[in-house]
Structure 1
Amino acid sequence: MIRVVIAESVHLFRSGLVALLEDEPDITVAGTVERGSGLSEAGRALPEVALIGTDLADVDGVTAMGLLHAAAPQCAAIIMAARRRPGDLRRAVTGGALGFVLKDTSPAELVDAIRRVARGERVIDAELAFAEIGAARNPLTPRELDVLEAMADGATVDEIAEQLYLSAGTVRNYLARVMHKIGARTRVEAVTLARQRGWLWRDGDEAGGLDDSGRSRHPLGR
């Protein structure tokens, strides 16, 4: 019997998965959670496979997978995405996922994916795999990504400088280089493009903490 845990924030979708899997003679649902943090507890049920949505209530799917593996390293993970984005696949595989499927995949394909992953096989959406092959390579350095990520979270230039032990002028230079490399006209556009291409790990508000002009929404931002 394959023991499965489900991490999904949408109650109706989560309930539908439970109903689908409980009808299978060789699969049982060992637990369900709506928040990624709940996977630490769910891992104690010794699941063999975890179905994890990309957009949970508290963390993204890849972060949630890390919490699960810390509690249940033997559990294989399948990430369920709402849309095809090459960067999501790269993050999931790098994070240790054996499977990556779309939420609109057919019930039969999902059940087959669970069985295959339980055997140690990899199951990846074919169209997304081809899109990943053709995806643009990340031109940003780790430090440039750090600066852009902090800006996306709403930090001001001065706050980023303090967090990363840089001068404000150096932070502005990093942001200018990022925009030039990506081909973005504003910081908002740079954040959006980086997220679409899978170069930023967190996926919240498309403009993060920036307004439409690319400035921080922080009252002291500059």
Structure 2
Amino acid sequence: MIRVLVADDHALVRGALVALLNLEADIEVVAEASDGSPVLAAVLEHRVDVCLLDIQMPVMDGIEATARVRAGAPTCRVLMVTTFGRTGYLRRSLEAGASGFVVKDTPAAELAEAIRRVHAGLRVVDPQLAAESLAEGGNPLTAREREVLGLARDGLPIAAIASAVHLTSGTVRNHLSAAIGKTGAGNRIEAARTAADRGWL
């Protein structure tokens, strides 16, 4: 029996996934979560084999939860199941240690098979997304550019961003300028939106 945890902040989606997976003879959903923060503790408590994690969740997103699970319970596999089939999310998920990445409109039988494959140590990635990711290349933003762009997206002025990241205002402007150039945007708000749409933030 493959012991599964489902984490999704939408109760209806989570409930539907749980109901569908529990129809499979070899899969049992043993834990649920509405965000990423309790996932590792639940994995350890319920001896979870495979986590199904949404990406965009409150408190802690699925990518951070993936990294924590892989560090704290290395034998547990992670399969990302998301509405947002973005190449940036795919790359960040795999970098965090996810074994698979599928979108939520995947048929139930295919999702169950993806769980089996991930449990067996294989990698499962939505083929269209994999092709797009190869064509597009990696995330061009540095960690610091992502950080300041994320704060700029929230509407913070330069001085407040500088204070939050312990840099000078001039250095923050340089990072924002570089990010604007890399995203092909006209300003920092547009750059943040473009980066978020591509899954780079």
- Partner Cα separation in structure 2 for residue 92 and residue 36 of structure 1: 14
TM-score, scaled to structure 2: 0.91
Question: Which shifted more, 6-15 or 137-146?
Answer: 137-146
SS at match of 2:117: helix
Q: Does 1:99 align with 2:69?
A: no
Structure 2 residue runs of 5 or longer lacking an equivalent are none
1:56-76 deviation per Cα after TM superposition (whole angstroms, max 9, x unaligned): 232221112223334422110
Q: Which residue number corresponds to residue 114 of structure 1?
A: 115
Question: Which shifted more, 107-116 or 155-164?
Answer: 155-164
- Partner Cα separation in structure 2 for residue 174 and residue 86 of structure 1: 23
TM-score, scaled to structure 1: 0.83
- Partner Cα separation in structure 2 for residue 15 and residue 71 of structure 1: 26
Structure 2 letter corresponding to 1:84: G
SS at match of 1:51: strand
Change (3 A) 1:40 1:108: same
- Partner Cα separation in structure 1 for residue 87 and residue 139 of structure 2: 12
Q: Which residue number corresponds to residue 74 of structure 1?
A: 75
Larger Rg: 1
Question: Which shifted more, 122-131 or 137-146?
Answer: 137-146
Q: CA RMSD in A?
A: 1.8
Question: Which shifted more, 163-172 or 48-57?
Answer: 163-172
Q: Which residue number corresponds to residue 23 of structure 1?
A: 23
Contact kept, 8 Å, 1:84 with 1:102, in 2: the verdict is yes
SS at match of 1:36: coil
Change (3 A) 1:165 1:130: same
Q: Which residue number corresponds to residue 188 of structure 2?
A: 187
Change (3 A) 1:14 1:131: same
Structure 1 residue runs of 5 or longer lacking an equivalent are 201-222
Q: Which residue number corresponds to residue 127 of structure 1?
A: 128
Percent identity at matched positions?
43
Q: Which one has a larger percent helix, Structure 1 or Structure 2?
A: 2
- Partner Cα separation in structure 2 for residue 144 and residue 11 of structure 1: 34
Contact kept, 8 Å, 1:150 with 1:160, in 2: the verdict is yes
Contact kept, 8 Å, 2:53 with 2:81, in 1: the verdict is yes
Contact kept, 8 Å, 2:88 with 2:138, in 1: the verdict is no
